[in-house]
Structure 1
Amino acid sequence: MISNPQTTLALINGKVVLPDRVAEGMAVIIERSSASGSIAAVVDENRLPVEIKRIDVDGRWITPGLIDIHTHGALGHTFNEPSAEAFNIILQENARRGVTGLLATVAAAPLDDLLQTFEFIRQWMSAPRPGSQVFGAHLESPYISPQQCGALDPQSLRSPSDGSAAQLLEFADVLRIFVLAPELPGASELVARLKEHNILPAAGHSMAKEEHVLAAVQSGLRHVTHLFSAMSTTVREGPWRKPGLLETALVHPGLTVEMIADNKHLP
């Protein structure tokens, strides 16, 4: 099972998070190389080979490396800062917290600033780096509703129909998730272009009604960012109550949703 005992260790006495349960009395065997490590096996602690080094985690949780698809930064720095200092601090802190890979989440900003940031992310991803690995970028774009901008800069907001998205799509190799408000003019067309570039279109920071969401779904919308936060809900039109983005996201089988359980984004 293990070819080189000197490159292995076993985590014992922990709560091991498995796909279907949390197990105790199990050991997680790690194979290490000079650059990284990976989980080789999960076995009963009593079956560990004698020669393997053991690390007692004293009842702590043991999980695979976590993947964070929506994180803006850490320790006073954000991914809107295209500098090695900021990225190193953020990524080392994420690794310390158990996050082994992430999407560098970039907030709406002036277009030139966004282009500079994505160029930096592209260069960062081109070589091995310490800390959490950057798998791409998640953009909370300028194409959102002013009424639902939340913590995003209202001075940076734009219309999907103004042509500026073409410059952002030049970074299709970097962009993984692209958040926009489906009700804005040109939004459905932009969703279709995102889909063509293999970028996941996501709805968020939006005042959309169900009709806007369904039109965007027809164009390729597949995801909704931070459910409940900065999005429309049921409105009354005459004697009828019409669903907003929240209700449509909860019931539509073609939409996945993101939930941020930080005591701020959920009611």
Structure 2
Amino acid sequence: MNTGLTQIVNGNVITPHEIVFNAAVLIKDGRIEEICRDNKTIEQAMIIDARGQYLSPGFIDIHVHGGAGHDFMDAELEGFHEISRLHARHGTTAMVPTSLTSEKDQLIGLLKVYEAAVQSHSDGAAFLGLHLEGPYFAMNQRGAQDPRYIRDPDPVEYEEILEHAHLIARWSAAPERKGALDFGRRLRDKGVLAAMAHTDAVYEEVLAAVEAGYTLSTHLYSGMSGVSRKNAFRFAGVIESSLLLDEIDVEIIADGVHLPAPLLKLIYKIKGPEKIALITDAMRGAGMPEGESILGHKNDGLKVIIEDDVAKLPDRSSFAGSVATADRLVRNMVKMADVPLLEAVNMMSRTPARIMGCQNKKGAILKGMDADLVLFDRDIQVSFTMVKGKIVHGAA
């Protein structure tokens, strides 16, 4: 008889504030029904034996471009699904698909494919809304973003795109660009998270941006200003401002390449796990062998090279996105930055859920939350992934 009950037993359950060893989690109709600290088996439930592994809330990646040979900019329905399946195998249970700089019509086309993907999605990580990364960036901080499309915010353009605001979770821009503060206020009005990215702003401009609604720093240290000098005077950049201001959350690419261990430790020490979201920033090369690849649309994107566990521009002058998966981020924070496992998991689940406004449903193992769960060993090797009570990787 199908009771709608599933129970995961013999697990080390990672809750928001502690790890409960040798415990069980009861799931009913896709939600967490109970944390059984005594590990008592419910006879009516389908039993899954965790065999002493860690049972974690599902990982939430709020900045990801692709994987498994696909990029969201390809705007292909099957590509969306393949990317979500690839990352689900590595513990991601929810993600925010991310664009690159492009023309308006391309972004609108991407939004339409995203909507179709949400309606048809069933066997990988869930989608939480699109992240539009650009095209309103500082040319000097473009990194691997295509310079052909970089421009100032245009109300005529972004208002047309914001007609699809119910599909857009966040939008990253350089707040010092002409019209960017009005743009940030408009995003706030529409319920879209405004983030600072690929920016040359100084502290005073960041303060104005925060007042206009920019509350997230996109891939901290990557594509943003640090301390600069003008007429012999020093000015704090976006890096220092993001570390200093409590109003700003930060996301970091903890792939072990973009940021070395000392910077991971510094960010953790200053901001703390409640203000840090780990992101993959993964491009189509995630889960693929080393060699040539493309960042962006497969027909006219930028050629890149995957080597040293990262994507690079062909001249090796800049990174061009990571090829990481979420399990690698957690592993690196534990092993490279000496962060306790509980806090590393929170930075990959609870904090990104809060940033994206879905903390009442996702990001923690608590009664009533979505049963988005990951099982991994002490080396953070994922063996099992569940989304809303449905197994999408591994076996019962």
What is the TM-score with the length of structure 2 in the denominator? 0.61
Which whole-Å CA distance do the structure 1 matches of 2:44 and 2:19 have between them? 27
Cα–Cα, structure 1 residues 52 and 120, in superposed 2: closer, same or farther, change >3 Å? closer
Amino acid at match of 2:8: L
Residue 6 of structure 1 and its aligned partner are, at CA, apart by 4.0
1:30 is matched with 27
Counterpart pick for 1:105 among 94, 98, 115:
98
Q: Percent identity?
A: 34
Does the 8 A contact of 1:29 with 1:39 survive in 2?
yes
Residue 44 of structure 1 and its aligned partner are, at CA, apart by 2.8
Which whole-Å CA distance do the structure 2 matches of 1:172 and 1:55 have between them? 40
CA RMSD of aligned residues (A): 2.1
SS in 2 for 1:16: strand
Counterpart pick for 1:21 among 3, 18, 22:
18
1:40 aligns with 2:37: no
Amino acid at match of 1:117: L
Residue 244 of structure 1 and its aligned partner are, at CA, apart by 0.3
CA deviations over 1:66-125 (Å, ceiling 9, x no partner): 222111112111111221210111122233333222211112222221111012112333
Does the 8 A contact of 2:99 with 2:132 survive in 1?
yes
CA deviations over 1:133-191 (Å, ceiling 9, x no partner): 21210111111111111222222212114742222222211111100001111111111
1:244 aligns with 2:241: no
Cα–Cα, structure 1 residues 5 and 154, in superposed 2: closer, same or farther, change >3 Å? same
1:152 is matched with 145
Residue 202 of structure 1 and its aligned partner are, at CA, apart by 0.5
Does the 8 A contact of 2:9 with 2:39 survive in 1?
no
Decide which structure has the larger Cα Rg and report it. 1
1:256 aligns with 2:249: yes
Does the 8 A contact of 1:182 with 1:206 survive in 2?
yes
What is the TM-score with the length of structure 1 in the denominator? 0.88
Counterpart pick for 1:181 among 144, 160, 174:
174
Q: How does 1:158-177 map to 2 (within 5 A)?
A: 158-161=151-154, 163-177=156-170
1:11 is matched with 8
Q: Which moved more, 1:126-135 or 1:184-193?
A: 126-135
Does the 8 A contact of 1:227 with 1:266 survive in 2?
no
Cα–Cα, structure 1 residues 128 and 73, in superposed 2: closer, same or farther, change >3 Å? closer
Residue 263 of structure 1 and its aligned partner are, at CA, apart by 1.7
1:198 aligns with 2:195: no
1:228 is matched with 221
Q: How does 1:83-102 map to 2 (within 5 A)?
A: 83-102=76-95
Amino acid at match of 2:257: K
Q: Which runs of 5+ in 1 are unaligned?
A: none
Residue 232 of structure 1 and its aligned partner are, at CA, apart by 0.3
Q: Which moved more, 1:163-172 or 1:5-14?
A: 5-14
Q: How does 1:66-145 map to 2 (within 5 A)?
A: 66-126=59-119, 129-145=122-138
Residue 50 of structure 1 and its aligned partner are, at CA, apart by 4.3
Which whole-Å CA distance do the structure 2 matches of 1:137 and 1:50 have between them? 42
Residue 218 of structure 1 and its aligned partner are, at CA, apart by 2.2
SS in 1 for 2:222: coil
Q: How many residues were matched structurally? A: 260
Q: Which moved more, 1:44-53 or 1:255-264?
A: 44-53
Which whole-Å CA distance do the structure 2 matches of 1:218 and 1:53 have between them? 51
